[in-house]
Amino acid sequence: MDTVRDLVVKNRSYRRFDESHVISREELVELISLARCTASAGNRQPLKYILSADPKTNDLIFSCLAWAAYLDDWDGPAPGERPSAYITILLDETISKDPLCDDGIVAQTILLGAVEKGLGGCIIASIQRERLARDLEIPEGLKIRLVVCLGKPSEEAVLEDLEPGGDIRYWRDEKCIHHVPKRKLDELIVQ
């Protein structure tokens, strides 16, 4: 059985998938059922979700997202390697105007649940929010915070140690393995 550490380390930001892998609505509902159990500032629980696993809605969401800003020579996943599903995280402003960090907590929880199922994904904040809200016909009062993309990863991503002052940008090698530099422990712990 995977430890929490195994799941956290496996949970990289994946951006290329086997798009033929079908994710059911039930699987997405299970991930929201997990996210529902997380901490929430003041226990206000202002986040709501739009689930998509159908090709038409997936295309619509995909067209509103920006991918991997550091990879200059890559325009994002090509047809066939795009996510099979999306969870759009919304803030219900009738409950709270500020989710503090609730959205990050639920996004990470959704991804960890996905990794446990053999899936993977990526949190996307670079979103054409007005267009997506219009195209998904999101009611007034619900504001798009993040989109979590999900699929069966078809790429390998590895962590590597970042020396102090080194380059934080992720990169891909000639075998298309995605490298993610992380600051070393002794740089993070102040006292």
Judged by CB under 6 A, does residue 86 bind ligand FMN? no
First and final C-alpha spacing in the chain: 33
Residue closest to 148 by CA, chosen among 10, 51, 30, 59: 51
Residue closest to 146 by CA, chosen among 71, 83, 33, 66: 66
Residue 181, amino acid: P
Judged by CB under 6 A, does residue 66 bind ligand FMN? yes
Judged by CB under 6 A, does residue 63 bind ligand FMN? no
* Contact call for residues 31 and 114 (beta carbons, < 8 A): yes
CA dihedral over 27, 75, 107, 109, signed as positive or negative? positive
Least spacing, CB of residue 83 vs ligand FMN, in Å: 11
Least spacing, CB of residue 26 vs ligand FMN, in Å: 26
Judged by CB under 6 A, does residue 111 bind ligand FMN? no
CA atoms within 13 A on the CB side of 20: 0
x/- map, 138-157, ligand FMN, by CB under 6 A: -------------------x
Judged by CB under 6 A, does residue 126 bind ligand FMN? yes
**What distance in Å separates the CA atoms of residue 152 and residue 82, rounded to the nearest whole number?**
10
Which residue of the chain is nearest ligand FMN when measured via CB? 126
Least spacing, CB of residue 187 vs ligand FMN, in Å: 16
Window contacting ligand FMN (CB under 6 A); options: 12-20, 51-59, 77-85, 89-97: 12-20
Judged by CB under 6 A, does residue 17 bind ligand FMN? no
Q: Give the angle 133-134-138 at the CA atoms, nearest 5°.
A: 50
Window contacting ligand FMN (CB under 6 A); options: 18-26, 87-95, 112-120, 123-131: 123-131
Where along the sequence are the contacts to ligand FMN (CB under 6 A)?
12-13, 15, 66-68, 122-126, 157, 170, 180
